Amino acid sequence: MKVSIIIIVVKDRGWLDEAIRSALNQDYNDYEIILASDGNPGMKKYANKYGLKFSLSNGNRLSINFNKAAKIAKGEFLKPLADDDLLTPNCLKDSIMNIQDNALLYANAINFLGKSEKIYKPPMKENFEKLLKKRSSYIHGGTILFRTDVFLKCGGWDGELKSCEEYDFYLNLLSKGYKFTYLDKVVYKYRIHNRQKSHIANSPERIKDKNYIYNKYS
């Protein structure tokens, strides 16, 4: 079963080579890598360097960038990877072996800052009502693997959003009756730094996006 790894990037913040190498260093052979650039054609040099597919969006937002790359994906499954993060070598193999008939799989991650590492495990089983009530998710977005046909059938990530794309996607799938499964293994390494969206959790833009999502589903 083929997996399409989509690496989301705007510009190289110093970690892109490392992210790409982690995708190339998998214990699973049937996959492709798509470098999805949000409005920066200069990123094609990295795709050429490693022999990757390249997708260029109009520089509008992450959700539109990912959706465009998904439309050229040849894999039965999609695996997002941020340019500042890493896949563990077992990521694809363990995810594929455990997703079974479910639409989406989520797992554990290592949050790291320099040499300091901490394992993150989701503390609860997700369902639609709990997610909507909390207006956030305990699912670690970096760990997810999901079916390409389901993603496209459900419209992909909401192009109106500038943040909270994965949270909205979970609600979209659950509201349509799709099932999730949890894998109790580490499959992703999440880099902690001061240039990530999680540091602006209470920004007016993020609050606006969460209200938009809540009104859409409530």
pLDDT digits 0-9 by tens, 162-211: 899 999 999 999 999 999 999 999 999 999 976 565 555 567 888 899 99
Residues of the chain whose pLDDT is less than 70? Answer: 124, 126, 194-202
Q: What is the pLDDT of residue 27?
A: 97
pLDDT of residue 203: 78
| pLDDT value, residue 136 | 80
Domains and CATH numbers, the chain: 3-217 (3.90.550.10)
- The structure's pTM equals 0.93
Write down the H helix ranges in the chain. Answer: 16-24, 44-50, 62-71, 91-99, 128-134, 148-153, 165-175, 204-217
Q: Given this model, what pLDDT does residue 148 score?
A: 98
What the block records as the tokens of 150 is 């389901």
